[in-house]
Amino acid sequence: MESSLSPLIIKDKKITVPIIQGGMGVGVSLYPLASAVAKEGGVGIVSSACLDRLVSKRTGKKHNTYDATYEEVSLAKSSGGFAGINIMVALVRDYEASVKGALDAGADVIISGAGLPLSLPAIQPPKDTALIPIVSSARALELICKKWERLGYRPDAIVLEGPLAGGHLGFKIDQIYMESNKLENLLPPVKDMAKKYGDFPVIVAGGVYTYDDIVMFLKMGADGVQMGTRFLATEESSATPDYKNAVIMAKDEDIIVADRPGSPCGLPFRVIKQSPMYVSSLNKLRKPKCDKGYVLLKDAEGKFTRCPAKDSNENHFCICNGLLSSANYNPDMEEPLFTVGTNASRVDRILSVKTLMDELAGKTLALVSS
């Protein structure tokens, strides 16, 4: 049976099933997940976060950020279909090397958020790669469009991410549950802004869960959806078995937005409240140690030395080590941190990507509670 959803067209590429699998760092969406989604007609996305360490460990050969990104994107594309990468602005130190590695490997898309990707088009000519910012408001979109106009580039599409998403959220903590910030209410002004700056596709994300949700958002004017949590507990996701199990067990009341202690990136961050790294931070148990450095910011001398989790974990957990542990990088040394979207409480089993994509494309009946 064919999908009944209309295709998504980005930079002249026709994506048969209008679903982008959201980038999930650290190490949750790697090439096995991305290539499986690409094969089923969606867009598979690897996360750039900490790829140098993850790929070096997997291959037993030292990879720098550029090489690791090139390798991961190439593998994600190797089984056919469309695949790309999510590169977070908050990963300042490695941002340019990640972008260059992805472009040189021929990524179909680069999706970039957790901050405003104001200089993305200036790094290197993107050729066939679509550049897709993530925004949470029409205002943020306008800022990006104005800056990119000066660089002679227009977004090839945008992801509008609402407050129910997993990972970092583009909202202040007290704005998360405001009626005006519901995804369906954010969409019309963002769609208008996209029309004003060139009528590029708008892809919605955050809380999209069923085939019916997808149909509803497409009817409201979205051109596609991006989904993370539904792909987190698939067979092909690289989350550890403990992480997938925590997702399956999570109830509504277990899923919280961490603020204090919170992410050193300064954005609200959704987690399962029993995550060992979060609990340790709450109980002041972890002795602070900065040995990964992915979210460091520059100091007055231009050196990457600043992170609020460096000297104390009372207000900020060590996100690099917590998320690396959830991806099985260093589970014996560090406790894991489980980030999820609000809908993790609805996930009750591990599915293959094929089964999930068939369901989401409307080819089969739903297998999970809706």
Ligand X SMILES: Cc1cc2nc3c(=O)[nH]c(=O)nc-3n(C[C@H](O)[C@H](O)[C@H](O)COP(=O)(O)O)c2cc1C
Instruction: Please state, as a whole number, how many other Cβ atoms lie within 10 Å of the Cβ of residue 42.
Output: 32
- Report how far residue 356's alpha carbon sits from residue 254's, in angstroms, rounded to the nearest whole number: 24
Q: Among 19-27, 118-126, 183-191, 289-297, which window interacts with ligand X (CB under 6 A)? A: 19-27
Site membership for ligand X, residue 134 (CB under 6 A): yes
Site membership for ligand SF4, residue 320 (CB under 6 A): yes
Is residue 203 a contact partner of residue 8, using CB atoms and an 8 Å limit? yes
Site membership for ligand X, residue 164 (CB under 6 A): yes
- Report how far residue 25's alpha carbon sits from residue 173's, in angstroms, rounded to the nearest whole number: 21
Site string for ligand SF4, 236-275 (x = CB under 6 A): ----------------------------x-----------
Of 8, 10, 19, 49, the one binding ligand X by CB under 6 A: 49
Site membership for ligand SF4, residue 93 (CB under 6 A): no
Is residue 154 a contact partner of residue 174, using CB atoms and an 8 Å limit? no
Residue 206 partner contact from ligand X, ligand SF4, none using kind-dependent CB cut-offs of 5 to 8 Å: ligand X
DSSP assignment of 275-311, as one string? Answer: -HHHHHHHTT-SPP--SS-TT-EE-TTS-EEE-TTSS
CB contact set of 258 (below 8 Å; sequence gap of 6+): 268, 269, 270, 271, 278, 317
- In the complex with ligand X, the residue whose CB is nearer, 24 or 138, is 24
Of 3, 65, 69, 86, the one binding ligand X by CB under 6 A: 86
Phi, psi of 345 (to 5 degrees): -70, -15
Query: Taking the complex as a whole, how short is the minimal distance between the CB of residue 346 and ligand X, in angstroms?
Result: 10
Site membership for ligand SF4, residue 318 (CB under 6 A): yes
Query: Taking the complex as a whole, how short is the minimal distance between the CB of residue 330 and ligand SF4, in angstroms?
Result: 11
- Report how far residue 132's alpha carbon sits from residue 118's, in angstroms, rounded to the nearest whole number: 11
Query: Taking the complex as a whole, how short is the minimal distance between the CB of residue 144 and ligand X, in angstroms?
Result: 15
Site membership for ligand X, residue 161 (CB under 6 A): yes
Is residue 221 left, alpha or beta, with left meaning phi > 0 and alpha meaning psi from -120 to 50?
left
Instruction: Please state, as a whole number, how many other Cβ atoms lie within 10 Å of the Cβ of residue 274.
Output: 12
Residue 208 partner contact from ligand SF4, ligand X, none using kind-dependent CB cut-offs of 5 to 8 Å: ligand X
- In the complex with ligand X, the residue whose CB is nearer, 81 or 206, is 206
Strands 158-161 and 130-135, bridge-based pairing: parallel
Query: Taking the complex as a whole, how short is the minimal distance between the CB of residue 271 and ligand SF4, in angstroms?
Result: 14
User: What is the C-alpha radius of gyration for the chain, rounded to an integer number of angstroms?
Assistant: 19
Of 292, 325, 351, 357, the one binding ligand SF4 by CB under 6 A: 292
Residue 55 partner contact from ligand X, ligand SF4, none using kind-dependent CB cut-offs of 5 to 8 Å: none
Is residue 361 a contact partner of residue 246, using CB atoms and an 8 Å limit? no
Site membership for ligand X, residue 268 (CB under 6 A): no
Site string for ligand X, 178-207 (x = CB under 6 A): ---------------------------xxx
Residue 148 partner contact from ligand SF4, ligand X, none using kind-dependent CB cut-offs of 5 to 8 Å: none
Is residue 144 a contact partner of residue 117, using CB atoms and an 8 Å limit? yes
HSE (CB half, 13 Å, CA atoms) of 82? 24
Site string for ligand SF4, 8-27 (x = CB under 6 A): --------------------
- In the complex with ligand X, the residue whose CB is nearer, 297 or 305, is 297
Site membership for ligand SF4, residue 324 (CB under 6 A): no
Bridge partners of 161, per DSSP, are 205
DSSP assignment of 93-107, as one string? Answer: GGHHHHHHHHHHTT-
Query: Taking the complex as a whole, how short is the minimal distance between the CB of residue 134 and ligand X, in angstroms?
Result: 6
Question: The tokens of 115 are what?
Answer: 């901050």
Site membership for ligand SF4, residue 295 (CB under 6 A): yes
Question: The tokens of 122 are what?
Answer: 């200036």
Contacting positions for ligand X (CB under 6 A): 22-25, 28, 47, 49, 86, 88, 113-114, 134, 161, 164-167, 205-208, 226-229, 232, 339-341, 343
The site for ligand SF4 (CB under 6 A) is made up of 264, 290-296, 307, 309-310, 318-321
